[in-house]
């Protein structure tokens, strides 16, 4: 969430101060070196929230942002992923050329794909277990979900093609498709960043107008439509490549701040009517009919603007050099955000495991809280181990150390 960074960094390849000439790249990158801790912080936060949202609802669920407005952790996650991916691979593209950058992006895509297949295997194990051990007559109909086990030949192939995606496994396929498009996005951004963003908006609008979608197996469509969600990803990339700086005046204006606050309060009120049904008769019916359903699949405009409002306020009230960013209290979040692909997969796995424990051992509130907390502790612990390992590995291999292209910074899975 670093829109409006006042980065002092160098601009690349001679755009500094000069009017852009035809040969000069139209984008600029902030200086390398310092990590942008706010990105890590909020990505870590998104990972924790996604984990909690994947567990059955509990008291902790009330701390996740989807209860306070339209957008949720997914928006944060995709935006930051676009931002960091453009930041890392955009630099690679300027320094090493399109081919090398593309190759590195594809390597990253492969890692994410493997992670997805790994999660699918765990899902298969879980569903097979439930299928053979659970025969409550109340739920004979719901057990129809097991029918796909009867034809593994089709199901597994469709899963490898990313067309069969069980519940909670929708984010990685979306991310894979977005990353596959990244070379084109970056190449186009290098040439005309604003036009690229405009094209992304057009694609978004066309997707809504003509109802375009990615089909899924056994039928239906992708739960996160990449044709719509690309808007957030491209917007993140655009911000990373200099757009944020150009928007800084808009973001600093009090008018923007008050619009953002008004919108967030209004969204909060609407969300409140979902949980306190007594309030719902205060909602004008016309407004309800216009507003609902707020579509997550196609990234409803209401969700996108809600995210923008949140981001605008965050950037305003949480400066880049906020001392709290280095405090030990936020360290766990930042650590998790720095290893997002690993921690994301771990979170999905822990959510599966948590469901399993709740079902097999006990479903009490205490157990629920225990599972949520230990899940977060495990995520933190693993992130710490990964950091430790990288540090050690880097020390021993200092000679071959490569300052650029830290996959974690681009990461995000």
Partner 1 sequence: MKAKVLLSLVLLCGYLAAPTARADDAAPAAPAVPPACELPSYLLTSESRLPKVAEAVKAGKPLEILVIGSRSTTIPASEDASYPARMQAILKDKLPASEVVHVSVEIQSKKTAEEAATTFVKLVEAKRPTLVIWQTGTVDAIRAIDPDDFRGAVTGGVTALQNAGADVVLMNLQYSPRTETMISVPPYLDNMRVVAQEHDIPLFDRFAIMRQWNDQGQFDLFSPSRGPELAKQVHDCLGRALAQFVIDAAHLGPAQQQN
Binding-site ranges for partner 1 (CB under 8 A) = 54, 56, 59, 62-63, 65, 67-68, 123, 126-127, 130, 133-145, 147, 166-168, 211, 213, 216, 218-221, 223, 261, 264, 268, 272, 275-278, 281, 285, 288-289, 292-293, 297, 313-314, 317-318, 351-352, 355, 358-359, 363
Is the CB of 36 or the CB of 170 nearer to partner 1?
Answer: 170
Q: Is 288 or 394 the residue whose CB approaches partner 1 more closely?
A: 288
- Closest separation in Å from C-beta 403 to partner 1: 32
| Min dist. Cβ of residue 229 to partner 1 (A) | 16
Using CB atoms within 10 Å of the CB of residue 367, give its burial: 0 to 12 exposed, 13 to 18 middle, 19+ buried. middle
Q: Judged by CB, which is closer to partner 1: 34, or 211?
A: 211
Q: Which of 49, 30, 33 is nearest to 41 (CA)?
A: 49
CB of 144 to partner 1, least distance (A): 5
Total Cβ atoms within 10 A of residue 355: 17
Helix (H) or strand (E) holding 43: helix 37-54
Separation between Cα atoms, residue 221 and residue 295, nearest integer Å: 14
Q: What angle do CA 18, 21, 23 make, to 5 degrees?
A: 125
Least Å distance, CB 23 to partner 1, is: 44
Residue among 13 and 252 whose Cβ is closer to partner 1: 252
215 φ, ψ to 5°?
-80, 155
Which one, 27 or 73, has the nearer CB to partner 1? 73
Residue 167 beta carbon to partner 1: minimum distance, rounded to whole angstroms: 5
Using a 10 angstrom Cβ sphere, with 0-12 exposed, 13-18 middle and 19 or more buried, the burial of residue 13 is: middle
Cis peptide bond prior to 170, omega within 30° of 0: no
Closer CB to partner 1, 56 or 397, in the complex: 56
Contacts (Cβ under 8 Å, ≥6 apart) of 46: 73, 74, 76, 77, 80, 337
DSSP assignment of 225-280, as one string? -HHHHHHHHHHHHHIIIIIHHHHHHHHHSHHHHHHHHHHHHHHHHHHHHHH-GGGG
Closest approach, Cβ 358 to partner 1, in A, equals: 7
Select 140 or 396, whichever has its Cβ closest to partner 1. 140
Residue 282 CB, nearest distance to partner 1 (Å)? 13
């Amino acid at each position: 969430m670093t829109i409006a960074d006042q980065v002092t960094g160098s601009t690349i390849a001679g755009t500094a101060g000069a009017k852009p000439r035809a040969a000069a790249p139209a984008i600029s990158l902030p200086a390398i070196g310092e990590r942008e801790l706010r990105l890590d912080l909020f990505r870590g936060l998104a990972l924790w929230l996604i984990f909690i949202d994947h567990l059955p609802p509990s008291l902790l669920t009330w701390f996740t942002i989807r209860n306070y407005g339209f957008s949720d952790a997914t928006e944060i996650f995709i935006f930051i992923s676009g931002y960091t991916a453009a930041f890392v691979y955009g630099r690679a593209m300027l320094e090493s050329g399109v081919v090398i950058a593309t190759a590195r992006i594809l390597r990253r895509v492969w890692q994410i794909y493997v992670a997805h297949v790994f999660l699918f295997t765990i899902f298969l194990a879980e569903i097979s277990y439930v299928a053979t051990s659970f025969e409550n007559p109340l739920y004979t109909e719901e057990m129809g979900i097991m029918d796909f086990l009867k034809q593994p030949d089709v199901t597994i192939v469709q899963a490898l093609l990313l067309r069969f995606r069980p519940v909670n496994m929708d984010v990685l396929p979306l991310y894979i498709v977005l990353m596959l498009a990244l070379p084109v996005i970056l190449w186009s951004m290098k040439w005309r960043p604003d036009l690229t963003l405009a094209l992304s908006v057009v694609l978004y609008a066309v997707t809504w107008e003509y109802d375009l979608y990615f089909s899924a197996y056994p039928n239906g469509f992708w739960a996160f439509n990449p044709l719509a969600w690309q808007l957030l990803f491209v917007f993140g990339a655009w911000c990373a490549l200099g757009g944020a700086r150009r928007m800084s005046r808009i973001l600093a204006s009090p008018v923007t701040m008050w619009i953002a606050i008004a919108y967030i309060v209004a969204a909060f009120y609407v969300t409140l009517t979902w949980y306190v049904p007594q309030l719902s008769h205060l909602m004008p019916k016309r407004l309800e009919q216009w507003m609902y359903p707020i579509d997550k699949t196609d990234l409803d405009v209401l969700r996108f603007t809600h995210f923008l409002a949140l981001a605008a306020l965050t950037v305003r009230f949480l400066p880049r050099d906020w001392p709290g960013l280095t405090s030990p209290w936020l360290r766990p979040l930042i650590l998790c955000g720095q290893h997002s692909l690993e921690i994301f997969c771990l979170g999905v796995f822990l959510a599966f495991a948590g469901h399993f424990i709740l079902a097999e051992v006990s479903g009490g509130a205490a157990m629920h809280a225990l599972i949520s907390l230990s899940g977060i502790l495990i995520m933190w612990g693993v992130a710490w181990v990964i950091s430790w390992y990288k540090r050690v590995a880097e020390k021993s291999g200092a000679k071959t150390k490569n300052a650029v292209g830290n996959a974690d910074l681009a990461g995000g899975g």
